[in-house]
Amino acid sequence: MRRLGWRFAIALVVGVALAPAAWAQGQPQVGGTLVYAAGVDPDSLDPANTDSNPGEAIGRMMNNFLVRFDAKLRIHPDLATRWTQSKDGLTWTFTLRKGVKFHDGTPFNAEAVRYNFERFLGAEKPLKAGLHSPIIRSVDVVDEHTVRFNLKVPFAFFLNNLAHSASALVSPAAHQKWGKDLTLHPVGTGPFKFVEWVRGDHITLVRNDDYFDGKPRLETVIVKTVREDSARVLGLEAGDYDLIVRIPPEEVGRLTRGGKVRIEADQSNRALRIGINASKKPFDDVRVRQALNYAVDKDSIVKNIYQGFAAVIPTMVGPLNTGYAPVKGYPYDPVKAKKLLAEAGYPSGLKVLLWTPKGRFLKDFELVQAVQQQLQAVGVEASLQSFEWAAYLSLLKKPKDEAKHELYLIGWSPSTGEARWGIFPITACSQWRPIGSNDSFYCNKDVDGLLEKAVAATSLKERDESLRKAQELLVQDPSSIYLLATKETVGMSPKLHGIINSPLELVYVDKDTWKEK
């Protein structure tokens, strides 16, 4: 079992060790099928157009990157074996692995790398274009196994961006053939190959026997969509599933005492918030957005709903991200909330819509119900609506003039592992839906300017200072009701070994994952 060893990792819950050292691992075996019960369907299996962690987790089983994160978010070689950076920081040159092929037989080479990144820079403008288009000027093929990136500005997080899930390299031939339907026909170079996706039910992957890093041990991976927490837990106990995510906190003690299940709980960098559509009245008034933040008791939610399996955060940036600043957030102050609402012209309160998915995030529905009750206490009557995850994302991707949402539960786990990407895609004025992921239609030019300064910083001190100021400004001018960073609680059969529980809130398998027969 891979342990993160992070300072936020939980070792004990109700006096029971979650992942005891006594779990001995025998000799790795080859073969077998792993059945993985996830909470929801992915939105897409095309990495450049994936906007959800379920899609990213499955993608990491099928794809590779120029560089990759390990379990502690350190950078390692992947399809690039080494790289150099020019003194001015504007040119990065990568040497590529030889003899690698995509699952469809297309050779992996420098031209394939150029093709993938020109998707972000060209007319197609996939969903995650904002990850690279502001940074990369051009990509040159130096020779078959050498590629050069020319940047517009020096960028301290360039390698982090290359390790982002959207930067997974896909077969140019498959993209040319399928276009927007690549989501149903994904082709990477990774340890597992795509077989089928039955929406709402399962995704099947099979071993890539020609994987460049060695033949994977598992033969088949089946990812089942099981929305109800209780159904996933019961299926794990019954042996129907080998691996499940998001175990309800109240179940942890009972499951660990039984001895039939192994559990790991680690702090993720997933930040949950109630997004606020700042383009609609009354939410265009900063006093209303501030009042909503004062109205919610985050400490109570962490204690009573999550039972400690979460941490209160001051903005939308979680503590595991490089550049996170522990700025002063909003205390629970319902009196101040009522005062601000009155100043904004709502002394008798107001009525709002409050949307939530159900089964996507740990305790999501219970969380939103608690927020609903706390808002009610300050005169904000929230009408609660829940949606299936794919439909939910579709609704949130509407452009401003078509958007119906007002308040909505959403999470963001920056897959670069750094604070800028925890802010920019969901607050920048240039990233309003459908161009980017800013479904709050929030815009603060000063926040944008601070993020630009962080990008161009020539020292870590300067970079972190700009990020700190941006986070302070997001408290003064909130884009959301800031809530908490969750801890990813994963349950598995004791016969399963080598599962990856990443701080990126990605739970997946790789070539070294194996299952006792």
Tell me the domain boundaries of the chain. Answer: 64-172, 268-487
Within 13 Å and on the Cβ side, how many CA atoms surround 465? 8
* Amino acid 39: pLDDT: 87
CATH topology of domain 64-172: Dipeptide-binding Protein; domain 1 (3.90.76)
* Amino acid 19: pLDDT: 40
Residue 72 reports pLDDT greater than 50: yes
List, in sequence order, every beta strand (DSSP E) within 296-359: 310-312, 350-357
Residue 506 reports pLDDT greater than 80: yes
Residue 301 reports pLDDT greater than 90: yes
CA angle 195, 200, 205 (to 5 degrees): 20
Is residue 260 very low, low, confident or very high in pLDDT (cuts 50, 70, 90)? confident
3-state SS string over 434-492?
A: CCCCECCCCCCHHHHHHHHHHHHCCCHHHHHHHHHHHHHHHHHCCCEEEEEEEEEEEEE
The closest alpha carbon to 370, from 274, 235, 491, belongs to: 274
| Upstream peptide bond of 20 is cis (omega within 30 degrees of 0) | no
Across all residues in the chain, what is the average pLDDT? 92
Distance, CA of 394 to CA of 147 (rounded, Å): 36
Average pLDDT score over residue span 353-364: 92
Is residue 17 very low, low, confident or very high in pLDDT (cuts 50, 70, 90)? very low
Q: Of the ranges 169-178, 376-385, 485-494, which one carries the lowest mean pLDDT score?
A: 485-494
CATH 3.10.105.10 fits 268-487, yes or no: yes
Q: Say if residues 405 and 515 touch (Cβ distance below 8 Å).
A: no
* Amino acid 14: pLDDT: 30
* Amino acid 398: pLDDT: 96
Residue 6 reports pLDDT greater than 60: no
pLDDT digits (tens, 9 = 90+) for 114-150: 999 999 999 999 999 989 998 999 999 999 999 999 9
Q: Say if residues 169 and 68 touch (Cβ distance below 8 Å).
A: no
Is residue 396 very low, low, confident or very high in pLDDT (cuts 50, 70, 90)? very high
Distance, CA of 105 to CA of 189 (rounded, Å): 9
Residue 22 reports pLDDT greater than 80: no
- DSSP code for 137: E
Is residue 13 very low, low, confident or very high in pLDDT (cuts 50, 70, 90)? very low
* Amino acid 390: pLDDT: 85
Is residue 493 very low, low, confident or very high in pLDDT (cuts 50, 70, 90)? very high
* Amino acid 25: pLDDT: 54
404-440 burial: b if 16+ Cβ within 10 Å, else e: ebbbbbbbbbbbbbbbbbbbbbbbbeebbbeebbbbb
Is residue 307 very low, low, confident or very high in pLDDT (cuts 50, 70, 90)? very high
DSSP of 146-195:
EEEEEESS--TTHHHHHHSGGG----HHHHHHHGGGGGGS---SSSEEEE
Question: Among positive and negative, which fits the CA dihedral 303, 305, 310, 313?
Answer: negative
Residue 20 reports pLDDT greater than 50: no
Q: From residue 21, how far is each of 18, 180, 262, 440, 482 by CA, in Å?
A: 10, 46, 11, 45, 36
Residue 11 reports pLDDT greater than 80: no
Residue 512 reports pLDDT greater than 90: yes
